Each structure stands twice: as structure tokens, then as C-alpha cells.
Amino acid sequence: MSQKFRNLTGGNISRESPLDFRFNGTLYQGYQGDTLASALLANGVRLVGRSFKYHRPRGVFSAGPEEPSALVQLGSGPLAEPNTRATQVELSANLEAFSQNCWPGVNLDLLSINNVFSAVLPAGFYYKTFMAPRRLWPWYEKMIRKAAGMGTAPDQADPDHYLCSYAHCDVLVVGAGPSGLMSALAAARTGASVMLVDENPAAGGWLQRERLSMDGMPGANWAESIWQELTDLPNVTVRARATAFGYYDHNMVAILERVPGGNDKDLPSQRLWRVRAKRVVLATGAIERPLIFANNDRPGVMLAGAARAYANQYAVRAGSRAVVATNNNSGYLTAVDLADSGIAVAAVMDSRSSVDHTLLGMMEERGIPVDIGHTVHDTRGGKTLGAVRSGATDVIGGSQWMDCDLLAVSGGWSPAVHLHAQTGARPVYSTEIEAFIPGPSKQAEQTIGAARGNYDLEGCLNEGLRAGRQAARLAGFDTPDEDSLSLPETNGETLPYGQEAFWQAPRPGKRSKQFVDIQDDVTTLDIELAHREGYVSVEHLKRYTTLGMGTDQGKTSNINGMALLARLRQEPIPHVGTTTFRPPYTPITLGALAGGETGASVKPRRYTPMHAQHQALDAVFAPLGLWMRPQGYPRRGETMHQCVQREARAVRSAVGLTDVSTLGKISLRGPDAGEFLNRIYVNQFSSLPTGRARYGLMLREDGMILDDGTVTRLSEDAYFMTCTSGNASGVLQHLEYHLEVAWPELEVDLCEVTEQWAAVALAGPLSRGVLQRLCPEGTVDAVRLPAMGAVDTTVAGIPARIIRISFSGELAFEIYVPSSRGGELWDALLVTRDNTEVTPYGMDALEVLRIEKGFIGMGTEADGRTTAEDLGLGRMLSKKKWFVGQLALQRPGLNHANRLKLVGLTPVSPGDELPEGAQVLAQAVATGPGCSIGHVSSAAHSVVLGTAIALALVKGGSLRSGDTVYLADPARGANETIAARVTYPCFYDPEGARQHD
Amino acid sequence: MQLFNCPWCGPRAHIEFTYIRDHQSVSTRGNGDDPDVQQELDRIYLRSNHLGPHQEIWQHSAGCRGWLRITRNNLTHEVEDCLPCQHGDAP
């Protein structure tokens, strides 16, 4: 199909660069410089989509970001992008777009039956109707969501990639229309660093859409020349296709830049800029409002400025025969431009009672009849507009039908105060232009031009110049009074704004649909209903009727809706106010917010110094915080369970080796280090002899356990602390806080050395023999290195610190060496000279050994709600000194008899497993919520007992020893409870003889 | 995104910092003093959460790891000042 609505000349498009594209499968042609909307209109495609609720036919309504109805899905499969505005989609070769919210197709949409039943689908219908029965709600919801769709989100990973960047500048100018261009130029001339962004591919804003001459050239060319001048300046950055969508704290503006050719592998498809500017100038323009009359939503009804934009910028006739309805002078410029582009303009309907005679002269010249005091009351047509019914503004329903396929409407212009309002500033209502204009600034921002309600070109240029200079001055740059910068000479048709509010034509029938919000299918009836039912606050009105929701956030509908509500409330519009303006200004792809932080790049990964050794042993890795740690080292044909049992058994009966490099390690030094540790830990540390280690417990200020670990005294004033791997950063912060903020008088230096030391635990009855052969004679014998002893020595020639600490209950040694030699140490310990088999073991075996011994785990038993007393560690609490958390332990609730306390569990029937996380019941059958007396905190299969074992937190604790309790695990689908016996929470060598050997 | 003027590093985005606690809840008591349990619990749990300026303790955790006392309005996010935690800064 040829572009039969395209003029042969004019417009800012490249006719020498035709582009093929497909819409709903049909092949069309447009030109470089088109938007999808202008290309569709050029091809006579007027029906673009179906409406949200009633599935009424809808077409292109605007020519910019305010578009409420021409929403399309771009592409298909994983690249599909729903809800894009056809008015903002740049036409590109082989672009593919689809209508959305229609089934089976846009021409025959079976769900348009909703339109027939609309009388029973008023505002709040879903809330009122689908109340009961409650259990059916998930089904209702599914059906409603299917019918009221906003496109379909792709269900595969997005193959595009995105980039997030930060930028800084002295002056950020948003919008490259006449005000913004002058502002950026003026600021740039002072030497300030300037960034100028515009959401469109080319500069100029409305200059693209007017037929004005500036400095002797078309406005668009003038804009292009200024843009080029700015591009060439070293202190200026310009970004086209970049939408400033959010204004955040302390002058940070978020900008989304669409990158042309961004489907290329090397380029991101979009860039998210976080720009921190000393000053911001907002020159974001104004958005036209529609008029409200019956059936004002048919394809062919369009904002007057948009019809004009299609004629001037794209050389597209948006129809063949047009009627213009307006309440301000800008409608006449539309009539002139439409007529000059070859559209027959049948009439101008002006709702005002009197009109300037120059306007009438312009119309007379072109033979366009003007009906003063008239407006459009109704329209008819099928899938596109066929005729409008006009008449005097006070004649209900109008009087005369006129055939036309384009109705250009202008209900006045609203400044785009969105970014200004996002700063927390409150727009104020101007009765002069009947719109909200910027109020006092809350951030280092100034809003200028049409965005301030200044609709006069020369005024805008002037304002831009002054604002640019002022912004630079406030950012600290000299702005000499004498400036070579002068305003461009302009000529062409400019008119005063001259609007007179006309909010709503009389409704012709009781149930006629006069749409206020075209995107959300909100009519004047809905607003009246909401008001009747008491939703008189503008925020409630929005939630109840959905007015101003959706992808356009009411850019064309909000002011009209508020004006209608004000009339119903019989109050002036400022009393009704606006809803809150929130980012984003236009919808943002979630991928752009994530940037590069997707998949494996979300978090950094930490590897221990022995990682290569683990890989060589075919370890199965599991994440522990950011660390990758071996879970086990399964042999061929072995299940993970068999592997873990074998590894744990090897430690109990022979010797095992595990990587504990992930332990948090902190070095402390200074004369007050002992005192500091005394305050931090519940037990005494200043009395610890040099060369000895001690297990310690630290609390939060509220008395709950924060962490456990060991401290080794290296010399009079030096200590070496280890803490739980997952808690390392929290513990460091806890220590730093107390040293720097609470007790700065203490002389202690601390340094985190987690990554400086590689560490292993060598555990099992044969461990001493293995280690002794690698150390200087006698270093690790029972006398020279007793339990909890520490020594600095060498292992296999590597400088090492050995501490006799056991986390397995066996004779064990923790060996610390410099990180760079971790792999060497691992190899030396694993391949012994006398063929003793040293078994590498992973986190899961470590867990089995821990649970058998009843040692507490951070996050399992010490879950942030348990005290030392709860976990049977009350004897550690020193009574001789003060420590963090001590006083809070006196709270009565922490000493209540009913607290959950640590116990052990074994199955009554030996074959049963004890599920981790299960609830503990006193009876075999759950009697309802609240019958739980505790929960299983850790569970394992014991290698020494050959049955399941568990640690649990149970009300009453050891008072229940010997009792039978029942474990319920309904969340994982278990219907029957499992009987378990309460035991002492240590299943192996409770005296600790083995580790002290 | 807020901007904090770290006394050691200069202006940095707030994502580099970690909020630690309100200055009201800081105790500089180390030991020995005769402690009142109720007073201690009130300090931990019952600080005033008023609208307006608060003195807050932040750490420049992804920067110099220095400790700051920031006077910040929790309604407007206005930062009145951003000072190093000084010795003896008792609330």
C-alpha cells in the first residue's frame, strides 16, 4: 500500500530513505524521520488498538509521550516490548509492531462485548462484584487480567543489554525546545559544564511542528544549528533520545537514553544516566488537553497540536476532511496548517463567546467557516470517525451532523510540571491559563518556557537565555552583563494563547460515554459515581476510577478530571489539587534499571585461595554468602548423602581436611585491646594468656547473640579474632562502631585480615600424626600444643599459625598461612608421606559433625531471637565485668519459663528423618494455629548413631528431656507428624574428651 | 539519591554509606558506671522518631569506612551538616 496520506513535499523526513515495516503482519513503508504513528497515518492506518476495559477501537491521539491509546507491542519472542507509544517509536528498517489488548485481532475483537455491557461495568465494579465467595477470587482475577490487559510481558530473558552510568555537570537542561536551547547556550558561554537532553531524536521541540522562520531559516533548522553548535563545544554534552524521567534527592536526575542501533551486540540498547547537577533547568514544554464530549475516543479524534505536528513535521495528512474544536487560539493555527497541507477543513468550532478578528480573517482567507460559541457534542462512526455532531455549547447533544474523518481538539495546554513536582515542589493553579504551573522550587531547579505556562515564543527564548545565565551564575560561574549572545529573529504566525475554560460539553444521553481518560476508559459518569459514593479526594478518585493511571499516568486526562471533580464538589480547582507526581515520567524498561547487574553479575563471587584444589577434586560448590565453598567431594557413583556420610565418618575415625578460609579474621592491637574484648564478648579475655585461644560469644545491645568465634592472644597487646563467615562484615562494623563512636578513648587498632590468611582445619584422631611430619619436631605434641593452644611455626616450610580449636569434636588443628600459599598448604596436607588417607570434607560434613556435638550455628540456633541462656551457654556470661548486651538480659521476657530453649531430638522410630524447619508439637495431631511448642533448627543424619538427629528450640527446653514430641512439616507436604524423643543437645562425646586429647 | 559530604572524601552518593543508628541511641558508657536497666532499655527501644532534623550515625562503609554524624531532615532529606564522630560525642 502506498503512503496515500503523505504529501510530496514538506516535513522533516528523508524521502530518500524509505523504510519497510510491519504492523499486525502487513507490510508498509515509511521514511527515515517518521515515528511509527506518523508512518501508520501516512498509510491510512487509523485503527491501532483496543481500549483497556471496553475494547473500543482506538487510534493515534497525540504525537508525543502523552499518548494514551496508540500503545503497541514491538517485536516478538524475548525481544518483545509491550506498551510502547507508537508516537515515540522511531521508525526503523524491518520494525515489527502489533496491536495489543484485542482478541483475536484488532479489527474483530470479541471482547468488545464489554462495551455493550458497560452499564454494568461502572467504576469500582470489580471491587463490588467479585467480593464473594472469597475462594473464587484467584479465578476472577485471572479472567479480569486477561480481559483488561496492557500488553503481554515477554516470558523469556531479555537478550538486550543495558548500561548504567553516572555523570556530573554544572547545569543540566532538560528539553531542547526554544527555551532549553537558549538556556543551554547561555550557560555554556560562561564556561560551565552543561548537559542538554531531549527525549526526541532531533532538537527543536515544538519548533519541529510549527512553520516559523528563525534567523531566516525554518525553526527546525535553527534548532539543529544551535544543537550542532552546542555539540561542538568542549564543555557541553548533548544527548538526544534521552528522557529525563525522574528527579531525585539532592539534584540527581535520572535519564534514560535509547541507543540507536542498540540491538548491535557491542552497544547497549538503552543507557540509564544518573546525573548529579549543581543546577537544573527544566524546559519540558506543555501537553495539550482534549475536550470532553460524547464518543470522543474514536480513531480520527486527535489533539489539535498533534494533527498539526503530523502535517508539518511528517508531511502526513491525518485525515481528508477535518473539523477543529477548540477553546483557545492555538486551534486556529492547526486549522491553517491542516488546510495548507491539503486537508479540507470543514469548520472550526470555538467554545468561546468572542474571537479576535485577526483569527476570523485568517479563516476567511482559506474559506474555513467558524462557529463561535459552538462545540462538538457527539461523534459517530465504526472503527474510525465518520461524522461529528456540533452545536451551540449549551444545546444538549448539538444540532447538526457534519461528515469528517479527522477531528482536531484543543482544550488548552497544561505545562509539563512533572519533574518539577517530583522534587517535592507543589504546582500552583493559574486561573489565567487554567492550568497548574510550577510553584516555589524545592531543589536547585528552575522551570522555564511552556513548562512554566509561557506560551509565547519570544518570551520563551528570552526566558531561556536568562535562566541559562542564572543557572551558571548560581553554579559559580561569572556571567558578564555584556554578552555576545542575542536572540534569534523570529517571524511567522504567533498568537496569544487566549484560552477560556470549557471543561465538558452537555451529555447528550443519560449513558453517553464522554471519555475523560482514554487510556483507562474513565468517563464523566465514572467520576460522578465516584463523587456520589464519597470518593471526593483526588487521590481516592484516582484509585477508585483508575483516572490517571496506566502507562500515560493521565498526561492528557488529569486536569480535565480534576476540573470535573472540582465542579461536583462546588469548589475551585486549586482546592481539589493534583495527585502526586511520581517517577517515571514515561515507562522505563526494567532491564535499564538493572543495567549490567543481571545473572551472575548481580553479586561479586569470592573464591578461597584453595579453589583450584577443590576444582581438581571435583568438589560440588555451594554459595555461602558471596563465597563459593565446597559442599562435598563426591566420588564416582556416590550420592551427595553417601558422600557427606563418608566424609564425616573419615573425620571421626581417621583424619579429614576442610577449607575454612572464609572465616572472618580480624587483627587487634593496642594497649586497650584486652579491655575492648572484655566489653565486646560476654566472657573474660584480658586474662587470656599469650599463646592461648578462647571461644567467645558476643551479643547485640538488646541481649541477643550476635556472633561466636575464637580469639587468640598473640602477645601482650595483640589478638587475632575469627568470626562466622557469613557474619564477618557485620562483626567488623560492630567492632568499628564501638571503637570509633562509643569508646574512642580505647587505644586499639583493628584490621580485617580475612583475605590475607588462607585457613584449613585438619581434624580427626590421626590429625596430629599428619601434621607433626610437616612441622618442626614436637611443635604439635599434646604438651607443647594443648587444646586451645596456639603457635606460630612452619607447616611444610610455609610460615603458619596453628591453633588447636575443634569445631568437629575431634582432635583438630586450624592452620593459617598467607593466602598466596593456601594451595600449597592444601596439597601438602592432602598428600601425606606415609600413605595416611586424608579425606577432604565439605560444608555438609562439617554440619553433620557440628550437630552431633550440639555446637550452635549462626542463623540456625542463634537466629537473632535467642540468648546465651536459651542455647545453654548461660555459664559463659561473666558476672565480674560489664559487656555489651548485659543489661538488656535482665528483661523479664528473656527469663520467662516458656522461652524456646535448645534441645536435641532423635527419632522414636529409627528409620525416620527429622525435617529441618519442622514445627514441634506436644501432641501427634496439630490442633490448629498456635499449637506449636518450637521448631527444628538444624538436622542431620548422624554417622555415630546411624539415625537422624536434630537440634531444636522448644518451650521448656531440658524440662522435656525424655518426652516424646511430634514434628509437623505441612509446608513441605507432609500430612503425618513424626515422633521424636527430646534429648540432651549433644549426641557424641559430651565430655569433650576427644578434642582435648 | 542523597549526597553526603564526607569530611574525608568529599561529596559522595548515599549508596556508599550505611545508616547505623540514631545518635540518641548511642551509649558511650564503657563499664563501671552504675547502670539503670530501664534507662538502658529506653535508649535502645524508645528513641524519639519525630518528623524533622535527626542526628544520625552513618558509616562511609564503601569508602573510607569513617564514622559520621549527619544532621538530616527525615522529611525533606535536607542535610544540615555532616561531621566526623568526635571523641566524647555523647547524645
A715: CATH: 3.30.70.1400
**Closest chain B residue to A752, measured at CA:** B65
- Strands A798-803 and B53-59, by their bridges, are unpaired
A164 touches chain B (CB under 8 A): no
Residues A405 and A362 in one domain: yes
- Strands A194-197 and A162-174, by their bridges, are parallel
**A274 contacts B1? CB cut-off 8 A:** yes
Residues A379 and A518 in one domain: no
**A248 contacts B32? CB cut-off 8 A:** no
For A275, the 3-state DSSP assignment is strand
- Cα torsion angle, A981, A982, A985, A986, sign: negative
A740 touches chain B (CB under 8 A): yes
Question: Tens digit of pLDDT for each residue in A858-915?
Answer: 999 999 999 999 999 999 999 999 999 999 999 999 999 899 999 999 999 999 999 9
Residues A208 and A177 in one domain: yes
C-alpha cell of residue A731:
562483626
- Quickly list DSSP for A214-243: ETTEEHHHHHHHHHHHHHHSTTEEEESSEE
| A250 neighbourhood in chain B, CB within 8 Å | 1-3, 77, 79
> What is the Cα–Cα distance from A175 to A189, expressed in whole angstroms?
18
| A743 neighbourhood in chain B, CB within 8 Å | 28, 30
Residue among A424, A746, A888 whose CB faces B44 most closely: A888
* A764 found inside a domain: no
Residues A345 and A485 in one domain: no
CATH of the domain at A61: 3.10.20.440
Residues A366 and A337 in one domain: yes
Owning domain of residue A520: 502-575
* A480 found inside a domain: yes
Residues A314 and A379 in one domain: yes
**B27 contacts A742? CB cut-off 8 A:** yes
- Quickly list DSSP for A591-624: HHHHTT--GGGSS--EE-TTHHHHHHTTPEEEEE
DSSP E strands: which ranges in A156-269? 162-174, 194-197, 213-214, 217-218, 236-239, 242-248, 252-258
pLDDT of res. A130? 60
Which residues, numbered 255 to 294 in chain A, qualify as contacts with chain B under a Cβ-Cβ cut-off of 8 Å?
274, 276
Sheet containing A26-32, strands listed edge to edge, beginning at the edge strand earlier in sequence: A26-32, A14-23, A95-99, A71-74, A81-85
| B35 neighbourhood in chain A, CB within 8 Å | 882, 887
| B79 neighbourhood in chain A, CB within 8 Å | 250
Fold of B45-85: Folate-binding fold (3.30.2270)
CA A730 to mean position of chain CA atoms: 26
Domain termination site, one of A530, A559, A575: A575
List Cα–Cα distances, A159 to A81, A91, A475, in angstroms: 12, 21, 41
Residues A142 and A203 in one domain: no
b/e map of A493-522 (b: 16 or more CB within 10 Å)?
eebeebbebbbbbbbbeeebbbbbbbbbbb
Q: How many CA atoms lie within 13 A of A258 on its CB side?
A: 17
Q: Which residues pair with A622 in a beta bridge?
A: A629
| B41 neighbourhood in chain A, CB within 8 Å | 887-888, 891
* A794 found inside a domain: no
Low-confidence spans in chain A with pLDDT less than 70: 1, 102-104, 109-134, 136-137, 139-150, 262-264, 481-484, 493
Interface mutation vs chain A, best among B22, B23, B26, B37, most A CBs within 10 Å: B37
Q: How many CA atoms lie within 13 A of A889 on its CB side?
A: 21
- Burial class of residue A794 (count of CB atoms within 10 Å of its CB; 0-12, 13-18, 19+): middle
**A274 contacts B3? CB cut-off 8 A:** no
Residues A421 and A406 in one domain: no
Give how far A744 is from chain B: nearest CA, Å. Answer: 6
pLDDT of res. A482? 60
Residue among B2, B59, B77 whose CB faces A733 most closely: B59
Neighbours of A135 (CB within 10 A): 7
Residues A153 and A204 in one domain: no
* A430 found inside a domain: yes
CB A860 within 8 A of CB A870: no
* A15 found inside a domain: yes
Place of cell 519540558: A284
**Closest chain B residue to A247, measured at CA:** B1
Give the pLDDT band (50/70/90) at residue B51: very high
CB A412 within 8 A of CB A243: no
List Cα–Cα distances, A389 to A395, A398, A400, A401, A404, in angstroms: 11, 6, 5, 4, 10
Domain termination site, one of A728, A754, A780: A754
C-alpha cell of residue A327:
477553546
**A741 contacts B26? CB cut-off 8 A:** yes
Give how far B15 is from chain A: nearest CA, Å. Answer: 13
Name the residue type at position A365. E
- Cα torsion angle, A27, A32, A34, A36, sign: positive
Q: Which residues pair with A381 in a beta bridge?
A: A385
**Closest chain A residue to B42, measured at CA:** A888
pLDDT of res. A996? 82
Rounded to the nearest 5°, which phi and psi values hold at A656? -130, 160
**Closest chain B residue to A884, measured at CA:** B30
For A260, the 3-state DSSP assignment is coil
CB B14 within 8 A of CB B91: no
C-alpha cell of residue B30:
564503657
> What is the Cα–Cα distance from A169 to B37, expressed in whole angstroms?
53
Neighbours of A78 (CB within 10 A): 12
- List residues of chain B with CB under 8 Å from any CB of chain A: 1-3, 13, 18, 20, 26-28, 30-32, 35, 37, 40-41, 44-45, 57, 59, 61, 65-67, 76-77, 79, 85, 87-89
A401 touches chain B (CB under 8 A): no
ipTM above 0.90, yes or no: yes
**B35 contacts A249? CB cut-off 8 A:** no
Q: Which residues pair with A169 in a beta bridge?
A: A277
A700 touches chain B (CB under 8 A): no
pLDDT of res. A506? 94
* A177 found inside a domain: yes
| A424 neighbourhood in chain B, CB within 8 Å | 76
CATH of the domain at A369: 3.50.50.60
- Burial class of residue A691 (count of CB atoms within 10 Å of its CB; 0-12, 13-18, 19+): middle
Residues A103 and A21 in one domain: yes
Place of cell 586450624: A814
Q: What are the boundaries of each domain within chain B? A: 45-85
Residue among A250, A424, A702 whose CB faces B3 most closely: A250
Rounded to the nearest 5°, which phi and psi values hold at A364? -60, -40
- Quickly list DSSP for A893-951: GGG-TTSEEEEEEEESSTT----TTPEEESSSS--STT-EEEEEEEEEE-TTTSSEEEE
Residues A214 and A297 in one domain: no
Question: Tens digit of pLDDT for each residue in A482-526?
Answer: 666 888 988 876 788 999 999 999 999 998 999 999 998 999 999
Q: How many domains does chain A have?
A: 5
C-alpha cell of residue A732:
567488623
| B66 neighbourhood in chain A, CB within 8 Å | 740
Residues A513 and A543 in one domain: yes
Q: What is the largest CA-CA distance in chain B?
A: 43
> What is the Cα–Cα distance from A813 to A769, expressed in whole angstroms?
11
Chains A, B: CB contacts under 8 A, how many? 75
> What is the Cα–Cα distance from A48 to A779, expressed in whole angstroms?
84
Residue among B1, B32, B89 whose CB faces A248 most closely: B1
